[in-house]
């Protein structure tokens, strides 16, 4: 026969809980329902994270493309090229401004 001290050990307590869950229809139903809801939640969270990542990637790509093709970006590129001429004659003209 087992003493009371034996039931306090973690291994014995875990075994008792598992045995109670296996043999109890209510516990099995609760575990099954918990597993279903847990799996559904994990699937929803994964889908949400993937959708967010795709949306962020699409937004960055769209922003990069619009920045490359916008008139403001083109004007800035032209202004930058005008400020740094490579021709010495043009350089002296621009310094006189």
Where are the chain's structural domains? 25-52
Alpha-carbon distances of 40 from 23, 32, 37, 73, 86, rounded to whole Å: 26, 12, 5, 46, 64
Which two three-digit tokens encode residue 41?
Answer: 């939640």
**pTM, entire model:** 0.46
Q: Is residue 84 scored above 60 in pLDDT?
A: no
Is the model's pLDDT at 95 over the cut of 80?
no
* CA 57/CA 43 separation, integer angstroms: 21
Q: What integer is the mean pLDDT of 87-92?
A: 56
Structure tokens of 91? 């350089």
pLDDT tens digits, one per residue of 17-58: 889 888 899 988 998 999 999 999 999 999 999 999 999 998
End-to-end CA distance of the chain: 104
| Tens of pLDDT, residues 53-80 | 999 998 888 887 777 776 665 555 555 5
């Amino acid at each position: 026969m087992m003493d009371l001290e034996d039931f306090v050990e973690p291994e014995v307590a875990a075994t008792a809980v598992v045995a109670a869950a296996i043999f109890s229809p209510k516990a099995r139903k609760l575990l099954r329902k918990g597993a279903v809801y847990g799996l559904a939640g994990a699937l929803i969270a994964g889908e949400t994270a993937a959708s967010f990542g795709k949306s962020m990637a699409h937004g960055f790509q769209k922003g990069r493309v619009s920045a490359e093709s916008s008139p403001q970006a083109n004007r800035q590129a032209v202004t930058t090229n005008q400020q740094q001429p490579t021709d010495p004659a043009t350089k002296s003209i621009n310094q006189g401004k």
